[in-house]
Amino acid sequence: MRHLKNQEEEEDAEKFIAVAAAVARKATCVRARCGSIVVSDGEIIGKGFNSPAGHLESQRRCDFPKEGLHRKVTDKTCCIHAEQRAIFDALKNAPDKIEGATLYFTRIGKEDHMEKSGKPYCTICSKSALDIGIKEFVLWHEDGICAYDTAEYNLLSFDYQE
């Protein structure tokens, strides 16, 4: 992980995180509103927010007891993650530009303000990003904007402990 210190790099990251926040406002998840964008050479090639699979209310399972799910159900939410949707969108829009791209992520709180991100923890998204060649994940933490090499992000996700 590296903290963005270069003013131009930090300003670009702030701009892209603001776009991810605007995308997050479209989320329909009842637990968290998240947004992600995939950027390649300064161009947004993919956008995504979290909502039930297929954007279908019939797929919503927010109120289902998670304890009753089989241990093989590794993702206990009914929503497609914002990062997944941004990756799918980039694959549709610009598959030739994904290699070396950057994924920006943010979350919108109850008061419609951006929230700081926690530690990397999603192996579903990190494995997908790693597999298709996304170079970095960028998150806004308490101590500033940080960029993670995707391989590092994936390892940290597997090591996550609450």
Residue 67 falls within a domain, yes or no?
no
46: which strand partners? 38
pLDDT for the residue 67: 72
Q: What is the per-residue pLDDT across 53-79, written as a single tens digit (0 to 9) for each?
A: 666 565 556 666 667 655 654 565 668
Q: Which domain holds residue 88?
A: 2-57+76-159
Distance of alpha carbon 2 from alpha carbon 29, whole angstroms: 30
Residue 96 falls within a domain, yes or no?
yes
CA angle 142, 144, 122 (to 5 degrees): 70
Residue 116 falls within a domain, yes or no?
yes
Scanning the chain, the segments in alpha helix (DSSP H) are 7-24, 82-93, 123-132, 150-159
Q: What is the per-residue pLDDT across 98-125, written as a single tens digit (0 to 9) for each?
A: 999 999 999 999 888 999 998 898 899 9
Place 162 in a pLDDT band, splitting at 50, 70 and 90: confident
Residue 66 falls within a domain, yes or no?
no
In the predicted model, what is the mean pLDDT of residues 79-102? 96
Residue 40 falls within a domain, yes or no?
yes
Mean pLDDT (the chain, rounded): 89
Distance of alpha carbon 150 from alpha carbon 162, whole angstroms: 21
pLDDT for the residue 31: 81
Place 161 in a pLDDT band, splitting at 50, 70 and 90: confident
In the predicted model, what is the mean pLDDT of residues 4-27? 95
Strand (E) or helix (H) holding 54: none
Residue 71 falls within a domain, yes or no?
no
Distance of alpha carbon 43 from alpha carbon 33, whole angstroms: 23
Nearest to 25 by CA among 90, 104, 113, 88: 113
Residue 138 falls within a domain, yes or no?
yes
Distance of alpha carbon 132 from alpha carbon 109, whole angstroms: 30
Strand (E) or helix (H) holding 3: strand 2-3
Place 92 in a pLDDT band, splitting at 50, 70 and 90: very high
Q: For 13-152, where are the E strands, in sequence order? A: 33-40, 43-49, 51-52, 79-80, 102-108, 114-115, 136-141, 144-149
Number of structural domains found in the chain: 1
Nearest to 122 by CA among 59, 43, 61, 50: 50
Distance of alpha carbon 16 from alpha carbon 38, whole angstroms: 9
Higher pLDDT, 74 or 34: 34
Residue 94 falls within a domain, yes or no?
yes
Place 44 in a pLDDT band, splitting at 50, 70 and 90: very high
pLDDT above 70 (res 159): yes
Residue 82 sits in a domain whose CATH number is 3.40.140.10
The percentage of residues in the chain with a pLDDT greater than 70, rounded to a whole number, is 85
